[in-house]
Amino acid sequence: EPEVTQTPSHQVTQMGQEVILRCVPISNHLYFYWYRQILGQKVEFLVSFYNNEISEKSEIFDDQFSVERPDGSNFTLKIRSTKLEDSAMYFCASTDGGTGIQQRTGELFFGEGSRLTVL
Amino acid sequence: DAKTTQPPSMDCAEGRAANLPCNHSTISGNEYVYWYRQIHSQGPQYIIHGLKNNETNEMASLIITEDRKSSTLILPHATLRDTAVYYCIVRFRVVAAGNKLTFGGGTRVLVKP
* pLDDT > 80? residue B2: no
* Chain B, nearest residue to A98 by Cα: B95
Contact B81, A13 (CB under 8 A): no
Mean pLDDT of B65-89: 96
Q: Is A3's Cβ below 8 Å from some Cβ in B?
A: no
Q: Measured between CB atoms, which of B38, B98, B101 is closest to A55?
A: B98
Share of chain A above pLDDT 70, in %: 92
**Contact criterion met (CB < 8 Å) for B103 and A93:** no
Contact A36, A25 (CB under 8 A): no
What are the pLDDT digits (tens) for B22-45? 999 999 888 889 999 999 989 999
Higher pLDDT, B32 or A89: A89
Alpha-carbon distance B61 to B47, whole Å?
9
**Contact criterion met (CB < 8 Å) for B97 and A113:** no
Going by pLDDT thresholds of 50, 70 and 90, the confidence category of residue B15 is very high
Task: Report CA dihedral (B81, A43, A41, B109) to the nearest 10 degrees.
Answer: -30
* pLDDT > 60? residue A102: no
Evaluate the CA torsion angle A56, A104, A70, A36 in order and state its sign: positive
Tell me if the bond preceding A8 is cis, omega within 30° of 0: yes
Share of chain A above pLDDT 90, in %: 75
Going by pLDDT thresholds of 50, 70 and 90, the confidence category of residue B53 is confident
Could you please report the per-residue DSSP string of A53-81?
A: EEEEE-TT--TTEEEE--SSS-EEEEESS
What are the pLDDT digits (tens) for B81-105? 999 999 999 987 655 545 688 899 9
* Chain A, nearest residue to B44 by Cα: A110
Residue B10's beta-bridge partner residues? B109
Closest CA to A90 of A46, A28, A31: A46
H or E, element range at A102: helix A101-105
Closest CA to B23 of B2, B44, B43: B2
